[in-house]
Chain A
Amino acid sequence: MKLFINGEEMIVPDNVTNVEKLLDYFNLNNKAGIVERNQVIVDRSLHAEESVTNEDRIEIVHFVGGG
């Protein structure tokens, strides 16, 4: 499946069917962050229910502590 993640085209396995699985795929599920799918923020409690489909535009931003 082809996705645009933070503006970059990426191919992810077809078993990455929702936002939770996508974050798992990038090893980001234990980080505090915000996910936007096609310019709409996905509620944190709904990551497992929000489907990811071919050519979706996904923004993933995670918070860091350094400074």
Chain B
Amino acid sequence: MKERYSRQILFSPIGEKGQQKLSEKHVLLIGAGALGTSNAEMLARAGVGKITVVDRDYVEWSNLQRQQLFTERDAVERIPKAVAAAHRLREINSEINISGEIMDVSVQEIEELVEGVDIMIDATDNFETRMLLNDASQKYKVPWVYGACTGSYGLSYTIVPGQTPCFSCLLGAVPMGGETCDTVGIISPAVQIVAAYQAAEALKLLVEDYKSLRRNLFYFDIWQNQQSTIKVEKLKKDDCPSCGQASTYPNLDPVNLSRTAVLCGRDTVQIRPANKKKRNLDELSDRLQAVEGGKVEGNTFLLNLTIEGRRLVAFQDGRVLIHGTKDISEAKTLYNRYIGG
């Protein structure tokens, strides 16, 4: 096996056989923020054969403090995170297959993305997408590794269909609101601990060393100097709608999904039109140039309109981000005013 992986091959639980397995596996990373970029870099360096990174957002200055694949230039040019991450990952390891997808993951997307994937890594910033991952994991029998953090706190758990409780079993109901990077901030060491646990569990799954999986819910507070685990096997529910005997996968039913979302760590609302068609940014740009008091900028991937002290960013896939507000109705008003349904 190649020199570049020699230290990892020397590690006996991986070895030559494990390295070969890694090279044949496909990891799907949902989210290219702090957890996503850290996980992606570790797995790319480890020689995972194929890595797909999916993200709906673009790079901003506030990301650079912790999102390790991005540079100042990415922030200045507002490069979509999936593009910037894939670019950097290819520089790190040109021998593996890396795919960056600019995409907001909902039902249709996850059902397509999960095909042929060996494991999924959760690097999302919200519970709704995690529930989507959870049900896709159960339906298609693909393990996933939950990870999340805010402030100096973080936690992780590995969900293996048919073996462990699923995320729905652990969580009970999806919480409304709660702490986000928006309200309590986030420090990089907390991110790196969660990502390290996720990537380690990913490597165990990928080299098929199932007996070494953690099996416990791990959590810590790196500032309060606390860490612990809880055994959660007994939370598995036989009547769970996601992983029970009569599963209906409710989180894969579009009726249960919202069309708008307030983004973590940002004063921003995202609106996704129900009508899924590609947006013509050139046409939109021409239209917006005529708006009095507005400033229009763009690149190949998105269009930026600054107006009324707010910023609207339209993507090709139809989504619009409204920066400068957390108020969904105000965001919808601005959307309808300048972009139109």
User: Residues of A at under 8 Å CB distance from B?
Assistant: 6-8, 30-32, 34, 36, 39, 41, 44, 59, 61, 63-67
Q: Which of A31, A34, A36, A64 has the most CB of B within 10 A?
A: A64
Among candidates B31, B36, B226, B235, residue contacting A34 with C-beta atoms closer than 8 Å: B235
Can you sample 23 A-B contacts with CB below 8 Å? A6-B228, A31-B178, A32-B178, A34-B170, A41-B230, A41-B235, A44-B172, A61-B219, A61-B228, A61-B230, A63-B175, A64-B149, A65-B126, A66-B125, A66-B149, A66-B179, A66-B180, A66-B186, A66-B264, A67-B31, A67-B35, A67-B123, A67-B148
Question: Are A63 and B149 in contact, CB atoms less than 8 angstroms apart?
Answer: no
Chain B residues with CB under 8 Å of chain A are 31, 33-36, 122-127, 130, 147-150, 153-155, 170-175, 178-181, 186, 194, 217, 219, 221, 226, 228, 230-232, 234-235, 264-265
CB distance from B192 to the nearest CB of A (A): 13
Q: Is the CB of A59 within 8 A of B230?
A: yes
The answer to whether A32 touches B226 (Cβ under 8 A) is no
Residue of B nearest to A5 (CB): B226
Q: Is the CB of A66 within 8 A of B155?
A: no
Question: Quick one: closest A residue to B177, CB to CB?
Answer: A30
Residues of A within 8 A of B125 (CB): 65-67
Docked CA distance A67–B153 (Å): 11
Chain A residues, Cβ within 8 Å of B221? 6
**Interface contact A65-B123, CB-CB below 8 Å:** no
Query: With A and B bound together, what is the CA distance between A41 and B123 in angstroms?
Result: 27
Query: Which chain A residues border B127 with CB–CB below 8 Å?
Result: 63, 65
The reply to whether A64 and B178 contact each other, CB–CB distance below 8 Å, is: yes
Chain A, residue nearest B182 (CB): A66
Identify the interface centre among A39, A41, A59, A66: most chain B CB within 10 Å of its CB.
Answer: A66
A59 vs B229: C-alpha distance when bound (angstroms): 9
A8 touches B170 (CB 8 A): no
Contact between chains at B235 and A31 (CB < 8 Å)? no
Report whether A59 and B228 are in contact in the complex, using a CB–CB cutoff of 8 Å: yes
Q: How far is the CB of B150 from chain A (nearest CB, A)?
A: 4
- Across the interface, do A64 and B155 meet the contact criterion of CB distance under 8 Å? yes
Within the assembled complex, what's the spacing in Å between the Cα atoms of A30 and B178?
8
Contact between A6 and B226, CB atoms less than 8 A apart: yes
When the two chains form their complex, are residues A66 and B235 in contact, meaning their CB atoms are under 8 A apart?
no
Q: Please tell me if the beta carbons of A67 and B33 are within 8 angstroms of each other in the complex.
A: yes
B35: A residues at CB distance < 8 A:
67
Chain B residues whose CB sits within 8 angstroms of the CB of A63 once the complex forms? 127, 148, 155, 170-171, 175
CA A48 to CA B154, docked complex, whole Å: 27
B122 touches A67 (CB 8 A): yes
Selected from A6, A8, A32, A66, the residue in CB contact (under 8 A) with B150 is A66
Given known A-B contacts A64-B153, A64-B178, A32 and B173 have beta carbons under 8 A apart: yes
CB of B305 to closest CB in A, whole Å: 28
Specify which chain A residues have a CB less than 8 angstroms from the CB of B264 in the assembled complex.
Answer: 65-67
